[in-house]
Amino acid sequence: MCGIVGAISERDVQGILLEGLRRLEYRGYDSAGLAVIDRAGQVRRAREVGKVAVLAEVIQASPLHGATGIAHTRWATHGEPSQSNAHPHMSGDHLAIVHNGIIENYQELRDELKEAGFEFTSQTDTEVVAHLIERHYRELGSLLQAVKAAIAQLRGAYALAVVHAAEPDHLVVCRAGSPLVVGVGIGENFIASDQLALLSVTDRFLFLEEGDIADIHKDRIQVFDRAGTPAERKVVRFEHGVDSTDKGPYRHFMLKEIYEQPKVIKATMEGRVTDTRVLEQALGTEAGRLLENIRHVQIIACGTSYHAGMVARYWIEDLAGIPCSVEVASEFRYRKHVVQPDTLFLCISQSGETADTLAALRQAKQAGFRAALAICNVPGSSLVRESDLVIMTQAGPEIGVASTKAFTTQLTALLIFTLALARHNGLEAGREAEIVAAIHQLPGQVEQVLALDGEIAELSRAFMDKHHSLFLGRGALFPVALEGALKLKEISYIHAEAYPAGELKHGPLALVDSEMPVVTVAPNNDLLEKLKSNLEEVRARGGELFVFADKVAGVRSEDGIHVMQIPEVHDITAPIVYTVPLQLLAYHVAVLKGTDVDQPRNLAKSVTVE
Ligand code: G6P
């Protein structure tokens, strides 16, 4: 999704801006651009379709010197990916703007501005904002005032950064529905849509709140809240290691992140569980009060986070014995819901900035849910700031677009939360201790699965020339099958569908033949015997099976069945362990196919627009 970077300094900022854009590449984009105010007070701009590297080459050939600048990676929403639609957009030759998000009333504003004589050179909603600010600038003679006046007319969700040739000593930025952080330097300051973009220049950040406008000079930052009143925003230090944006010895971020899982699962457990029980207080001082008398849980999320929510539903109903509903945020936000009394609203999001998830949360607050809990990976994100209770996953920055370590740490956090909730609902201490012991085993078990990497790489060859695949699971392993299918389709572009194995006969069996690999996650649980019958149904149709199972499950490799042996795990923690081989499978298939593993086509890491 779109990324913003900006800088104001004594020195040339083009290098800082390009480095920031490179660090945002993982979010997905289709074009990139940069504008600076040069020493002669002129706005100079370069924009290119394609990768940041293409833009960097152009700038190397024809440098853009200047100490104030803004830059952008664009993920097309209004208008195709093209040079003229790429940001920064300009009004005349003196005002430049970059924008994330969507302006809903752009068409009527565009008509108005055209009538007032402004000429448009792109199809974007952003160019409308550029001209609108310029129109106000002509009247008010101040960039800050002009931005304030313009945004009062905007409807939608956006983050903006604006420069003006007549005022080269500052940037004006604002956020309303799209993330924006200010990086605090010494004698220089920066802005970005994601703090990762600025880690090479600072580790101190100031998070703007909804509706804030900030006036950024190289030696001072002034923030105004929604009402226009000067506001104080705390400066916080970046919490994760700076090396987290480096691939290290791994070929791709995705592989590095798969391998980090034992460490980050452990980090997510740390301080939250003893040997035998969950420390409720470690979930937040308010946790006890908020979890008391919860009678229903409503989970909302998107993508991989939604699959984590689906697993959590099995846990919540099984261990806490209270009903739980799960829904994708984009559906939830556009329908009427019946709010049961004492319902906990639970949002799961790696980024904490997914537009649909945030919109669902804001709606839920109005609708009268009892409290909002967030499971999130990004400190300071909108979701974290707007929730009553937050359980941070400790995955560290996740760069690969296809989510891996975020998912398994979400599951770890969700299981810990479930145990806390279940204790309020009569979970016996013995059962809690048994599950906590299983949680402690997770890092070691995931290590054991990672040791199968070579074998899984071999297995992946069977998928290379296939066009379709089917993933099966039952119970809490069904969402794991969904997640495995999602991983494969995201990065290898092979069509992958997941079904609860019991549904096989109700349709997908018609598709099964030797060209359709069938992947199954089959831990030794209550549903194993039923699952085995489902596997027979596939075998009888000539389907080739790839089964991930433990020794006890008793499924043996033979003609048409490839079994990958997974360590024996507790029933409850099985979804976490069984996810990992499916991540590795998708990864190796994608590598064999030669796709862009970390930045698959058409996808974005953080979907901050609807
Ligand atoms: C995008 C990403 C997915 C992610 C989903 C939800 O689609 O590509 O990996 O699962 O957004 O993102 P969130 O940050 O809310 O978990």
Alpha carbons 271 and 267: distance in angstroms, whole number? 8
Q: Do domains 3-237 and 444-598 have the same CATH topology?
A: no
Domain topology for 3-237: Glutamine Phosphoribosylpyrophosphate, subunit 1, domain 1 (3.60.20)
Residue 240: its pLDDT value, please? Answer: 60
Alpha carbons 449 and 564: distance in angstroms, whole number? 10
- 530-589 pLDDT per residue, tens: 777 878 888 888 888 999 999 877 777 777 889 999 999 999 999 999 999 999 999 999
The more confident residue out of 529 and 457 is 457
Q: What share of the chain is helix, strand, coil (3-state, %, to 5)?
A: 40, 25, 35
Identify the helix (H) or strand (E) that includes residue 579: helix 574-593
- 339-371 pLDDT per residue, tens: 888 999 999 999 999 999 999 999 998 888 888
Residue 605 designated active-site: yes
Pocket of ligand 1 (CB under 6 A): 302-305, 349-351, 354, 357, 401, 403, 603, 605-607
Residue 560: its pLDDT value, please? Answer: 81
Residue 244: its pLDDT value, please? Answer: 61
- First and final CA of the chain: distance in angstroms? 11
| Mean pLDDT along residues 169-185 | 92
> The domain at 248-427 falls in which architecture?
3-Layer(aba) Sandwich (3.40)
Name the nearest CA neighbour of 48 among 20, 76, 22, 85.
85
| Mean pLDDT along residues 474-486 | 96
**pLDDT level of residue 242 (50, 70, 90 thresholds):** very low
Alpha carbons 404 and 392: distance in angstroms, whole number? 16
Of the candidates 2, 174, 347, 376, the residue annotated as catalytic is: 2
- 132-176 pLDDT per residue, tens: 999 999 999 999 999 999 999 998 778 999 999 999 999 999 998
Residue 194: its pLDDT value, please? Answer: 87
| Mean pLDDT along residues 465-476 | 94
Alpha carbons 162 and 133: distance in angstroms, whole number? 9
Give the three-state DSSP class for 301: strand
Ligand 1 midpoint to CA 599 (Å) = 13
Q: Which of 254, 300, 354 should be mutated for ligand 1, with most atoms under 8 A from CB?
A: 354
Give domain 444-598's CATH number out of 3.40.50.10490, 1.10.3810.10, 1.20.140.10, 1.10.3720.10: 3.40.50.10490
Alpha carbons 390 and 346: distance in angstroms, whole number? 10
Residue at 53: amino acid letter: A
Ligand 1 atom nearest residue 383's Cα: 15
Alpha carbons 477 and 497: distance in angstroms, whole number? 14
Question: Does pLDDT of 383 surpass 80?
Answer: yes
Give how far Cα 544 sits from Cα of 378, 387, 482, 601, Å. Answer: 41, 46, 19, 29
The more confident residue out of 450 and 381 is 450
Locate the domains of the chain by residue range.
Answer: 3-237, 248-427, 444-598
Beta bridge partners of residue 213, listed in sequence order: 174, 224
Ligand 1 midpoint to CA 609 (Å) = 12
Residue 302: its pLDDT value, please? Answer: 97
Ligand 1 midpoint to CA 606 (Å) = 6
Give how far Cα 568 sits from Cα of 441, 545, 580, Å. Answer: 11, 20, 14
- 436-461 pLDDT per residue, tens: 999 999 999 999 999 999 999 999 99
> Which protein residue has the closest C-alpha to ligand 1 atom 15?
349
Residue 347 designated active-site: no
> Which protein residue has the closest C-alpha to ligand 1 atom 7?
303
Sign of the alpha-carbon dihedral angle for 65, 71, 73, 76: negative
Query: 41-50, 161-170, 499-508: which range is least confident on average?
Result: 499-508
Whether the CB-CB separation of 196 and 162 falls below 8 Å is answered with: no
> Which protein residue has the closest C-alpha to ligand 1 atom 4?
303
Q: Which of 606, 608, 609, 610 should be mutated for ligand 1, with most atoms under 8 A from CB?
A: 606
DSSP per-residue codes, 68-134: EEEEEEE--SSS-S-TTTSSPEEETTTEEEEEEEEETTHHHHHHHHHHTT----SS-SHHHHHHHHH
With a CB cutoff of 8 Å and minimum separation 6, the contacts of 55 are 18, 21, 32, 33, 34, 46, 47, 48
Ligand 1 atom nearest residue 603's Cα: 8
**pLDDT level of residue 33 (50, 70, 90 thresholds):** very high
Ligand 1 midpoint to CA 500 (Å) = 23
Question: Does pLDDT of 1 surpass 70?
Answer: no
Query: 80-84, 318-322, 480-484, 524-528: which range is least confident on average?
Result: 524-528
Give how far Cα 23 sits from Cα of 28, 185, 347, 353, 558, Å. Answer: 11, 18, 27, 17, 47
- 402-417 pLDDT per residue, tens: 999 999 999 999 999 9
Token readout for 416 is 């810990």
Give how far Cα 49 sits from Cα of 129, 248, 566, Å. Answer: 22, 29, 45
In the block, tokens 């908020």 appear at: 290
* Prediction pTM value: 0.75
156 sits in the region (left: phi over 0; alpha: psi -120 to 50; else beta) called left
